[in-house]
Amino acid sequence: MSNDHVAFFDTTLRDGEQSPGCSMTTQEKLTLAHALEDLGVDVIEAGFAMASEGDFAAIATITQAIRKPRITSLARAKTEDIEMAARALQHAERARIHVFLAASDLHLEYKLKLSRAEALDLCGESVRLACSLCDDVEFSPEDATRADRDYLVEMVRVAIEAGATTINMPDTVGYVMPAEYGHMFSEVRERIPAIDEKGVILSTHCHDDLGLAVANTLAAVEAGARQVECAINGIGERAGNAALEEIAAALYVRKDRFNVSSAIKLDQIYPTSEVLGQLITFKPSPNKAIVGANAFAHESGIHQHGMLANPLCYEIMTPALVGAPCTHLVLGKHSGRAALRHRLEQLGFTVDRDELQHVYYRFVALADRKKNIYDQDLIGLLPNGIRERRQEPVEELN
């Protein structure tokens, strides 16, 4: 794979906001949009202009304040949707209209009541209309991973002929496996030479219903996708979208495998996650990769000993890489002597081997009874002789 640029298309303000507890006001959306601009995302999907007056206002406001990323609005394959999107985007420095239309027979029959032929005609008409109003148009065949492959190829071909320059093939319901998703991208590229001839960008949009959104996204990147649609903290419909922070970190840590570049400023990942957590009703789960509270925390004695010897033993990236707080060695019943000695030294107490052994036995007994061990607890375990030898602590008490 050549050293190509992968564009990050952030949909936190559109698909992310659609999830329960994630609704944001126009001002809150603008706050996050500024953070996304600082993060270095290439495209911000600012909303769905036709959905509500609030969404229209938010898109219009963001277009006037954010200049570096391309700003896009989602639109159904309907004239009124596309025209509304164009109006919301009229002040954007760089605008994109993102048109979508169902591609699977299930969606066509039960949701839209359209035949395959009718949908193909609608695809071409809607993309042509969008192209007449905006010089950058993306088309998404919704539920692509459950669509008949021959029909999917035909719909993509129609969209490209109508002028779409980005084709997003979404795993709308989080159904596909990584190998299948990667193969879909390879097959579509092979069967439609115009993709490479015209420089059409293939894009991913994966949901996490089976916990595979990021894995599927990375499989598509390996197969030639050069735009990834994702959300901060992985928020989104149902189980969420592919998490931006996980994709960005994976492409960096495993650049030996992917050999691609992006404009994401990795040290802004954690700060951006924090901004989102303050705007919506919840923060990431503690065990969330990259940005969770425990992402760089260690309690196991074996892990702590390895971390003290060399952080690479148990961390594949530094907290500083993603702008997160420093590694935290959590003292609990699984901790070992090395971590206990390390924390005591940080607090200004030097102990010899026999003293450490004595304190460690008392520490383990306390940890079996108490979920959280605080610095004051540790000091309380120390004999008076050790306390009297205290030097200036390295850190304040927690």
Structure confidence at residue 339 (pLDDT): 83
Q: Which of 252, 279, 306 is the last residue of a domain?
A: 279
Same domain flag for 134 and 12 = yes
Query: The domain spanning residue 254 has which CATH number?
Result: 3.20.20.70
Report residue 310: phi and psi, to 5°. Answer: -165, 115
Residue 245 counted as domain residue: yes
Q: Model confidence over 7-58: pLDDT tens digits?
A: 999 999 999 999 899 999 999 999 999 999 999 999 999 999 999 999 999 9
Write out the H or E segment, with its range, that includes residue 130: helix 116-133
10 and 241 Cβ atoms separated by less than 8 Å = no
Cα–Cα distance between 75 and 47 in angstroms, integer?
9
Q: Is residue 297 scored above 70 in pLDDT?
A: no
Q: Provide the 8-state DSSP code for 312.
A: G
Residues for the chain: how many in total?
Answer: 398
Tell me the residue type at 147.
Answer: A
Same domain flag for 100 and 226 = yes
Cα–Cα distance between 285 and 216 in angstroms, integer?
21
Same domain flag for 240 and 303 = no
Q: Please give the angle made by the CA atoms of 152, 189 and 167, to the nearest 5 degrees.
A: 60
Structure confidence at residue 218 (pLDDT): 98
State the pTM of this model.
0.86
Going by C-alpha positions, the residue among 98, 193, 182 that lies closest to residue 142 is 98
Could you give the 3-state DSSP secondary structure of residue 297?
strand
Strand residues in 231-366 grouped as ranges (E): 260-261, 297-298, 328-329
Q: Is residue 1 scored above 50 in pLDDT?
A: no
- Number of Cβ within 10 Å of residue 21's Cβ equals 8
272 and 39 Cβ atoms separated by less than 8 Å = yes
Residue whose entry in the numeric block shows the structure tokens 């969008």: 130
Structure confidence at residue 190 (pLDDT): 98
* Structure-model confidence comparison of residues 339 and 99, the more confident one: 99
The DSSP annotation for 73-98 comes to: EEEESSHHHHHHHHHHTTT-SSEEEE
Q: Model confidence over 201-216: pLDDT tens digits?
A: 999 999 999 999 999 9
- Mean pLDDT value across the chain: 92
Residue 273 counted as domain residue: yes
Structure confidence at residue 3 (pLDDT): 54
Structure confidence at residue 316 (pLDDT): 77
* Structure-model confidence comparison of residues 286 and 188, the more confident one: 188
Same domain flag for 268 and 135 = yes
Structure confidence at residue 347 (pLDDT): 86
Residue 375 counted as domain residue: yes
Residue 43 counted as domain residue: yes
Number of domains in the chain: 2
Q: Provide the 8-state DSSP code for 320.
A: G
Q: Containing domain of residue 361, as a range?
A: 297-388
Structure confidence at residue 219 (pLDDT): 98
Q: Model confidence over 84-139: pLDDT tens digits?
A: 999 999 999 999 999 999 999 999 999 999 999 999 999 999 999 999 999 999 99
Same domain flag for 314 and 270 = no
Q: Is residue 232 scored above 70 in pLDDT?
A: yes
Structure confidence at residue 394 (pLDDT): 56
Could you give the 3-state DSSP secondary structure of residue 51?
coil
Report residue 292: phi and psi, to 5°. Answer: -70, 155
Structure confidence at residue 367 (pLDDT): 85
* Structure-model confidence comparison of residues 347 and 211, the more confident one: 211
Structure confidence at residue 377 (pLDDT): 82
Q: Model confidence over 365-388: pLDDT tens digits?
A: 888 888 777 788 888 889 888 887
